[in-house]
Amino acid sequence: MDVLMLSFAILVVMFLLLALGFPIAFTMSGLAIFGTIYVWGWSGLYMVVSTTFANSNNFIYIAIPLFLLMANFLQSSGMGDDMYEIIYRWAGKVRGGLASGTVVISGIFGAMSGISSVATVTMGLIAAPSMMKRGYDRSMVLGSIMAGGTLGILIPPSIIMVVYAGVAEVSVGKLFMGGVLPGILLIFLYIGYISIYCWIKPEMGPPVDTSFSLREKIVALKGFALPVLLIFLVLGLIYTGVATPTEAAGIGAFGAFLCMAAYGRATYANVKKALVTTLSTNAMIMWIIMGASCFSHFIAVAGIHDVINEALTGLDIWRWWIVIFMQGIFFILGMFLNPAAIVMLCGPLFVPIIIDLGFDPLWFGILFVINMEMGYLTPPFGLNLFIMKGIMPPSVTMAHIYVAIVPFLLLQGLCLALVMIFPQLALWLSSMMV
């Protein structure tokens, strides 16, 4: 069989196996090993081993377990309660204020953790019962929490951005800064929708009855002190060039531990839980990185990269149609696959094409991350959908969750379109870096 035909056949088999539920990492690595042995014999396995080691030995990836540890310490710290109390006191009297505040808190958690599950779980446990008790519509409660949770991968630091930076060979720090303005834009889009909808239909997010004095509101603001300090510490070190993203991740993890200690939550059980969760999650991500590296290298050596590159760049069409086509591929894959697997699979294929077309790979990375946010909310396997189902009472069905997320999914699509039309939303802040 021709090597190129074999490569395409392996691609088809891979998607079939993934659709049947086989583990992503072992599917890709197994098919790559099979293809390598078939084409080059047993001696070709050296290529598999050397490629896997070289890709997993990337210094950038050291930041992943450190950001994970930072996120897990923050989840155990209990600071979410204090931050929600601030929103309750300051915005509770406004229609939809608690839902809008939940989005803001999720953005803050995103700026501290780098993953989506932290904000989704924290706000699901704290904000959802509070809003439902005060008469908020179920769809508004579910939608605001799930959509707010996705901000964790767009607002820096972001673990997905670290993986993309390793594949695309772009600066992690600049990629982090590129996500700031789109993240803020998305927060404003969410808040704008919530505010307008609740103003038109007050029953969607009625104001709370309790009133607080100005002194009580100001006292509550102390709950923002540690989160804001940690955000400025991590991002400030990266932006000014004082520390690399990996070094800033280590400092952030230590800072998150101090936050947990300040809240009296640095118990043996909490620290052990954070370490074990970090270890297991990092192992999963690294297996995906190694498996996908092995697979992408095989199809590159087999020539499929060049065929796809020549086919797309040789088309006599507007170059933006190719970008839109790639976003469609990302959106479809996001329904079924982990973002880390998607970037490791598609990054080596798409990034060279984007560069050949004259686009900035950093800008393309931000588009990818926004698309992955949509993947977290898209059936059938959107992660945040299942997280929300797991922490909600049995009366909340998957049908309720699917309906609740539709308007927020459309807003994410609008944000994606705006960043495509106005690339400086992703490039301006990174261009100002030291």
Work out the burial of residue 311: count CB atoms within 10 Å of its CB; fewer than 13 is exposed, 13-18 middle, 19 or more buried. exposed
For range 269-291, the mean pLDDT:
86
Does the pLDDT at position 209 exceed 90? no
Lowest mean pLDDT among 144-148, 152-156, 285-289, 299-303: 299-303
**pLDDT grade for 7, boundaries at 50, 70 and 90:** low
Does the pLDDT at position 1 exceed 60? no
- The answer to whether the beta carbons of residues 202 and 95 sit under 8 Å apart is yes
Q: Which residues, at least 6 apart from 85, have a Cβ–Cβ distance to it below 8 Å? A: 220, 223
The pTM for the full model equals: 0.83
- Count the Cβ atoms, other than its own, within 10 Å of residue 62: 16
**pLDDT grade for 235, boundaries at 50, 70 and 90:** confident
Q: Which residues, at least 6 apart from 273, have a Cβ–Cβ distance to it below 8 Å? A: 72, 76
Nearest to 161 by CA among 145, 144, 183, 143: 183
Does the pLDDT at position 69 exceed 70? yes
Query: 380 preceded by cis ω (within 30°)?
Result: yes
What percentage of the chain exceeds 90 in pLDDT? 23
- Count the Cβ atoms, other than its own, within 10 Å of residue 256: 28
pLDDT for 305: 66
- The answer to whether the beta carbons of residues 115 and 72 sit under 8 Å apart is no
pLDDT for 35: 81
* Structure token digits, residue 377: 């909310």
Comparing 370 with 88, the larger pLDDT belongs to: 370
Q: What DSSP assignment string belongs to 106-150?
A: HHHHHHHHSSSHHHHHHHHHHHHHHHHHTT--HHHHHHHHHHHHG
For every residue of 228-244, which 3-state class applies, written as one string?
HHHHHHHHHHHHHCCCC
Lowest mean pLDDT among 43-57, 84-98, 321-335: 43-57
Work out the burial of residue 50: count CB atoms within 10 Å of its CB; fewer than 13 is exposed, 13-18 middle, 19 or more buried. exposed
- The answer to whether the beta carbons of residues 239 and 433 sit under 8 Å apart is yes
Does the pLDDT at position 412 exceed 80? yes
Q: Which residues, at least 6 apart from 254, have a Cβ–Cβ distance to it below 8 Å? A: none
